[in-house]
Every structure is written in C-alpha cells, then in structure tokens.
Structure 1
Amino acid sequence: MKPAPTDAYSLILEAIDLGVYKPGDRLVESDLAERLGVSRTPIREALQRLETQSLLTRDGRSLIVSSLDHNQLAELYVVRAELEGLAASLAARHATAEEVAVLRDMVEQDRALVGNPGAMARANRRFHKQIHLASHNRFLVQQLGLVHRSMALMATTSLAAVGRDSAAIAEHDAIVRAIETQDTAAAREALQAHISKAFVTRLKLDSGEVKSTI
C-alpha cells in the first residue's frame, strides 16, 4: 500500500532511527520520493521540518543527517536520564493495572529477542514509549518525544554491544517491578541507572573498548 503523503516525515525519521540513513549521509529529495513511494512535495516539507529540528544539517545546497559530538551526546543523556526518571516515577504513581500488565508482558516477550540488536532496539523504544504514556503527563511525553528524536542520530544502538541486550532486559525487569509496587523512588532510580549504563556502553562502543555485534 502506498504511504499517505502526510507520512513522509515519519518515514524519513524512522529510516534515520533504524540506521538506513546514518549521520553524514546525504538525503536527496528525488531519491527519497522514489524509495519511500511519496511525492516530492511532502518529502520537501518533511526535510524542512527535520532541518528545523536539527536532525538534518545544511551542507551547501544539500541536507545531510546530523551527527552528535561528545559534548552533545553527554548533554542528551543527562536530559534523557532526568526526564525518563520522572516518567518512571509518575508511572509508578499513575499507571493503570492494564498499563503495568503491558509493561510486564513486554519484558517477558523481549527475552526472546536477545541476540538480535535491531529487534531489541525496536522493542526498547516501545518499552520506553509505554512508560512515557503510563506517566499520564502529556507535556512530559512531548518533551521525551523530542529527546528520542535526537537519539535517532546515533549511528548504532548501544544494545549492539556484546552482552548489553541481556543486561538491558534485567534492567527493564527492575523498572517494571518498581512500577508494579508503586515505588516511585525506586522506579526513578532504576530507570536512571538503566540510562546511565546505556551511556557508559555507548562511550565504550565509540572508543572501541567493547565490540559491536553489528
């Protein structure tokens, strides 16, 4: 089925998020239109929007996928840890029984994805998004959406590091247990620790200290 024109922004963002287009890659309007099956007008509008959000950078007359330097990466993780921790704390207070059940099911189902970094990364995004929604705070959800769009600028997922996927599942389990028991402080602490460990892994990947499986 041909995607609706209004999907152009989401399609390009998803392609960046999945690593189809990596930092430094040049995005050509005509190529994107053909690849995504969308006319050039919505593609042009989507590219302008992504440039405004700093996800694309102007290089002469061309647009390339932006990249994050070390300081920007550190700043992003600081903000993410604070906002994600707040979301977990609010989820522990406000999540419905059904929302908690969905989070628990995600953890159990995701165990089968260990060893598949791409699938784990997608599952990880779903898990965090569910926590954001369970916070029942629309303004926080909006801000976390901005943060996660910037996360798409990372060339690889930290879950590609050897052993990181199994550790992440255990960390997700601890987060859900805290939410299940409505322990707001423990939920915040568990999620912030999870983000901190992901950041350490990211730095080790970038330095070559740990190996990637992809």
Structure 2
Amino acid sequence: MPRAAGSLADQAYDRFREGLRNGGLRPGQRVLELELAERLGMSRTPVREAIRRMQAEGLIAHGPGGGLCVAQYDHAEVAELYGMREALEGTAARLAARQAGRPDILLLQALVTAEAALPAEAIAEHNRRFHRALHQAAHNRYLLRALAPIGDALLLLGPTTLAHPGRAAAAREEHARIVAAIAAGDAEAAEAAARSHIAAAHAARLAMAAEEPA
C-alpha cells in the first residue's frame, strides 16, 4: 500500500526537526524545496507541506535576500526566549514540588543519577528527557502547551550549551538541586533552582556566542 501524503509530510517534518537537533540544518541556512525533496527521497508535495508547517511554527522564515531559510534569532530574541523559559521552567518546578507523585520523583532521580555515566554524544538528548519529565511532573496541561513552542525555538539556537566547557557537569548539579527540592516538597526552592539553572544555560549561550569567529 502506498503511504499517504500526510504520512510522508510527517516524516519530512520529523527529519527536518532532527536536522535542527543534530546540526545538519543551521540557523540562516537556505531551505530549498527541491533540494530537500531529493535529500529525503520524496516528492515535493509532502516536503512542501512540511515546510509550511515549519513556517507556521516559526522554524522557517523568509531570508533577507528572498527565499526561505532556517529561522535565526538576534541577541534580543535569544534574551526574550531565555527569559520566558526561565519563568516557565521555574513554574514547572514549583508545581512539581506540589503535584509530583512518587513515580515522577523516582524518574527524575533516576535521570539525574544516569547523567554522570553518559557519553558526550548522549548528553543533549538526555537533557531533553530530563526537562520533559520535569514538565510532566507539574501535572498541568496548560503549562505543557506553553512550553511546547519554547522547545521548538531552542532548536534554532545551534549547538547545545552542554558542549561548553564545564557546562555539562554544572548542569548535573543544577538538575540534582531541582529534584532534591521537588522531592522535599519545597516549592520555593524548586522554582529558584530551576530559574538559576536556566539563567546559567543562558550565560553559557552568551559565552558560546562571544567565542564564535566574527
């Protein structure tokens, strides 16, 4: 049975997002429908549908010279993104300290424990798992909806800040403080730890940007 166009469009969409995650597609890179279709081994129709979906989500935008490209944020937009992320992640941690059940806490603790033994190439995906588990532990569907576009926007920032020297080890300690506060039911400490964690990630992002060649 031939696959439906919608299914192929979903595959193209998923492949595009994977390219953003692994660095195969970079902010500012041009997006050519025909080139993408050839790379994915698909017709242009599902690729076109995937591109439209990406445009609607702000992941693809019109470039300064015409045509489409992977969206690229300026310094002000990055600051706004991290500011909102700090507020939402702090809220997630606060709610988790109040709402998380024993299975939620055990999962978060297991994820923190596993971080120390991870190879470098697995750290970024594990970090995403940790934050998804933290968001789920808040047990608030509206918060999850608010966090979804933040996760999408983070894909546009390039390499993970966990690749910055010393950042992965520091993030492990920050995760541990968040989870300890949640396990203790201390909502204020959980929110403060989560906000501090995101602020540190933002600082690492700024440091990485400053180190890039002009």
Alignment TM-score > 0.5, same fold: yes
Query: Structure 2, unaligned stretches of length 5 or more?
Result: none
In structure 1, stretches of 5+ residues that fail to align are 210-214
Q: Which one is further off, 143-152 or 31-40?
A: 31-40
Deviation at 1:89, TM superposition (A): 0.8
SS of 2:116's partner is helix
Equivalent position amino acid for 1:184 in 2: A
User: By how many angstroms is 1:156 displaced?
Assistant: 1.5
Q: TM-score, normalised by structure 2?
A: 0.89
Please state whether the residue corresponding to 1:153 is helix, strand or coil: helix
Structure 2 counterparts to residues 1-214 of structure 1, below 5 A: 4-5=7-8, 6-59=10-63, 62-113=67-118, 116=120, 118-208=121-211
Assess, with a 3 A threshold, how the Cα gap between structure 1 residues 40 and 185 changes in structure 2: closer, same or farther: same
SS in 2 for 1:182: coil
Q: Which AA in structure 2 matches 1:18?
A: N
Could you tell me which amino acid in structure 2 is paired with residue 103 of structure 1?
L
Letter in 1 for 2:97: A
1:39 positional shift: 4.1
Task: Determine what percentage of the aligned residue pairs are the same residue.
Answer: 41
Q: Distance in 2 between matches of 1:185 and 1:38?
A: 51
TM-score (norm 1): 0.89
What SS is found at the alignment partner of 1:57? strand
State which drifts further: 161-170 or 17-26: 17-26
Deviation at 1:67, TM superposition (A): 0.9
Equivalent residue of 1:24, what SS? coil
Cα gap change, 1:167/1:32 in structure 2, threshold over 3 Å: closer, same or farther?
A: same
Name the aligned partner's letter for residue 42 of structure 1.
P
Larger gyration radius, structure 1 or structure 2: 2
The structural deviation recorded for 1:61 is 5.7
Offset at residue 205 of structure 1 (A): 1.1
Distance 2:164 2:147 in 1: 24
Aligned residue type for 1:24: G
Q: Secondary structure at the match of 2:157?
A: coil
1:143-167 superposed Cα distances (whole Å, 9 cap, x missing partner) = 1110110011112111111111001
Look up the equivalent residue of 1:169 and give its one-letter code: R
How far apart, CA to CA, are the structure 1 residues paired with 2:106 and 2:25? 35
Deviation at 1:37, TM superposition (A): 4.5
